């Protein structure tokens, strides 16, 4: 099974989560709608309805056994963005990166290209683009855009999911737990420290186990295509313009993809698993 088959299987299970009318995680009741986290065509900017807490995700009983979670990195070692900043593009943006045998600090111009991939979100007639060149390094963006918004990307699964950023009805910060489930990003929420499956938008361990986030339509596309459809789009700026949680180093090369060689390897994820690419 390759990683896109894995994503397709996960999204198939996600459809059962997102397709029914009922209560969202914040207690609201919504009409039936649908959301596709990585849609190829724009969708109405309406959060997807979800029903009450679920007992299984992808055929696994909740809570997910701790032994099924793999540790890919320490908590917050991949620092979520907590105060995102936006601009028309990256013109004039400079970043610091380390290069060479001596790991020397250099200044770079990380200009965006039309073929750079982004997660595009439209809400209340406004548009924002979240470049994967940033999300590859940070995976989670805590935004305020048409209300509390969570934008996530798992480089290992190539999955982008956006949702309403609330837990028990309150806006909540999400972070990267450093754990993986089926090679997918596992997030935590700062309110209850519950663990959430990114691709399912569902809490899989902790106090909120079984509760789901209300999905928000988004699409993964190129910046050029997104800008053609949304000429006035704002674009997420890389740190330090955007602030992150507990970033001890703060030096990342946004001109490089840390997962560039991932498509050429014969397995999925980090560490041992039984899935072939």
pLDDT, one tens digit for every residue, the chain (277 residues): 344 444 444 444 443 332 222 323 333 333 322 234 443 334 444 676 566 789 999 889 999 999 999 999 999 999 999 999 999 999 989 888 887 777 778 787 889 999 999 999 999 999 999 999 999 999 999 999 999 999 999 999 999 999 999 999 999 999 999 999 999 999 999 999 999 999 999 999 999 999 999 999 999 999 999 999 999 999 999 999 999 998 665 789 898 898 887 766 555 444 444 444 4
Q: Are 266 and 277 in contact (CB under 8 A)?
A: yes
Of 200, 29, 189, 221, nearest to 120 by C-alpha is 221
CB atoms within 10 A of CB 170: 11
Helices (H), 198-253: 223-229
Structural domains of the chain, count? 1
Question: Residue with structure tokens 């989560």?
Answer: 17
Locate 142 and state its tokens.
């805590």
Of the CA atoms within 13 Å of residue 3, those in its CB half-sphere come to 19
- Does residue 265 fall inside a structural domain? no
- Please indicate, yes or no, if residue 261 is contained in any of the structural domains: no
Are residues 141 and 151 in contact, defined by beta-carbon separation less than 8 angstroms? Answer: yes
* CB-count exposure of residue 146 (10 Å: 0-12, 13-18, 19+): middle
**209 backbone dihedrals φ, ψ, rounded to 5°:** -50, 130
Interatomic CA distance for residues 16 and 256, integer angstroms: 37
In a domain, 262, yes or no: no
pTM: 0.80
With beta carbons less than 8 A apart as the criterion, state whether 50 and 216 touch: no
Residue 119 lies in a domain: yes
212 within domain boundaries: yes
| In a domain? residue 48 | yes
Helix (H) or strand (E) holding 160: strand 159-164
Range of the domain at 135: 3-248
Residue 8 included in any domain: yes
Residue 230: inside a domain: yes
């Amino acid at each position: 099974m390759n990683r896109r088959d894995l994503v397709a299987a996960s999204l198939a299970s996600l459809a059962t989560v997102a397709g029914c009318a009922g209560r969202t995680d914040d207690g609201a009741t919504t009409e039936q709608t649908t959301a596709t986290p990585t849609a190829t065509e724009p969708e109405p900017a309406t959060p997807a309805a979800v029903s009450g807490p679920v007992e299984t995700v992808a055929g696994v009983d909740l809570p997910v056994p701790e032994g099924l979670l793999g540790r890919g990195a320490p908590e917050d070692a991949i620092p979520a963005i907590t105060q995102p900043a936006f601009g028309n593009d990256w013109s004039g943006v400079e970043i610091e990166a380390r290069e060479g045998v001596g790991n020397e600090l250099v200044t770079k111009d990380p200009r965006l290209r039309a073929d750079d991939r982004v997660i595009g979100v439209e809400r209340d007639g406004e548009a924002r683009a979240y470049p994967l060149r940033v999300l590859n390094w940070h995976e989670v963006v805590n935004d305020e855009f048409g209300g509390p918004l969570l934008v996530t990307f798992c480089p290992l699964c190539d999955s982008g999911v956006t949702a309403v950023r609330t837990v028990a009805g309150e806006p909540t910060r999400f972070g990267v737990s450093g754990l993986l489930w089926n090679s997918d990003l596992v997030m935590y929420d700062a309110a209850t420290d519950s663990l959430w499956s990114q691709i399912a938008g569902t809490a899989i361990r902790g106090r909120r186990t079984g509760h789901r986030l209300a999905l928000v339509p988004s699409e993964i596309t190129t910046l050029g295509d997104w800008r053609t459809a949304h000429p006035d789009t704002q674009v997420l700026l890389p740190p330090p313009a955007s602030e992150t949680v507990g970033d001890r180093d703060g030096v990342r090369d946004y001109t490089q993809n840390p997962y560039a060689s991932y498509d050429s390897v014969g397995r999925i994820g980090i560490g041992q698993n039984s899935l072939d690419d």
